[in-house]
Amino acid sequence: MTILDGKKISEDIKNEIANEVDKMKAKGEKVPHLAAILVGNDGASLTYVGSKVKACERVGFESTLVKMPHTTSELELLNKIKELNEDDNIDGFIVQLPLPPQIDTQKVLLTVDPSKDVDGFHPENFGKMALDMSTFIPATPFGILELLQRYNVDTKGKHTVVIGRSHIVGRPMSILMSRKGWPGNSTVTLTHSNTKNIAQITTQADIIISALGVPNFLKAEMVKDDVVIIDVGITRVEDPNSPKGYKITGDVDFENVSKKSSFITPVPGGVGPMTIAMLLKNTLLAREQRRAH
């Protein structure tokens, strides 16, 4: 059994990006600039955005954090997005989700300039991804592809079962795993909360990508031997023995499922670190595209 070590691979990717940035600096070129808009003060969002800003420093990017109060109106946020769209100094930006209830998330995502949408959430980028055209792939799916690639996991002709159909992970993974090329060329079954007899489907899977958000949902009896497991779930579970009072748990019963797996991602330290690394990679791509135009 091989652990798909997202922590290690994400460090490799950050080193590669830092080298690219050094080359840009040596040529006197502008370095990539990533901005993030954070509305409100949701604890998890603050942590995520904080680590994105740190990661930018680590690779030599410029970064800007735009903080807006949770009382921000939809119009104020849309105006801020238009400002970033028009700012030539900014190569890519993200709007940290979830947004407060008074703001329509779809409207916000539609307002982001697709050429700066390094999260890959704009319908134009999502559509290009579905049509196999070059575009920004959402950071978490992009990170999963990169892990499969760097560990040489064979996906051709394999049966991939995706659990969860969110627009951020499940749906894009089902599209990407069935595309021509590698990682891809697999036969995909997309399962979700209304799927009947899910264990019957998962026991036939060669590769399982779980993005459900239900701790320890996938049990050893639900998988076959030598399965490849990608666990995208990340849930805080109360744990009196932990100094923090909780532990981070994935969708997969790691202890038992890992005994039957050929490859498996740990939680934490699997898919999570890859997401930020690929956001940086998308920002580097955005910078290169802007330079080419």
Q: Detail the residues annotated as belonging to a binding site for NADP(+).
A: 164-166, 234
Closest-CA residue to 260 (of 217, 190, 203, 199):
203
Beta bridge partners of 162: 190, 209
Choose the catalytic residue: 5, 91, 119, 251: 119
Ramachandran quadrant class, 60 (left: phi over 0; alpha: psi -120 to 50; beta: rest): left
Residue with tokens 């499922």: 257
For 229, other C-beta atoms within 10 Å of its C-beta total 26
Instruction: Kindly give the pairing relationship between strand 187-191 and strand 92-95.
Output: unpaired
> Residue holding tokens 């060329």?
185
Question: 80, 91, 96, 206: which one is catalytic?
Answer: 96
52 has catalytic annotation: yes
Residue ranges for the known binding site are 164-166, 234
Active site residue 206: no
DSSP conformation letters of 64-93: EEEEE-TT--HHHHHHHHHHHHH-TT--EE
* Catalytic member of 52, 80, 116, 281: 52
Distance separating alpha carbons of residues 130 and 194, to the nearest angstrom: 24
Sequence-separated (6 or more) residues with CB below 8 Å from residue 258: 1, 229, 264
Look at strands 246-249 and 207-210 and give their pairing.
unpaired
Among this protein's residues, is 119 annotated catalytic? yes
Q: CA 138 to CA 162: how far, in whole Å?
A: 16
Task: State the Cα–Cα distance between residues 142 and 283, nearest whole angstrom.
Answer: 13
Catalytic residues: 52, 96, 119
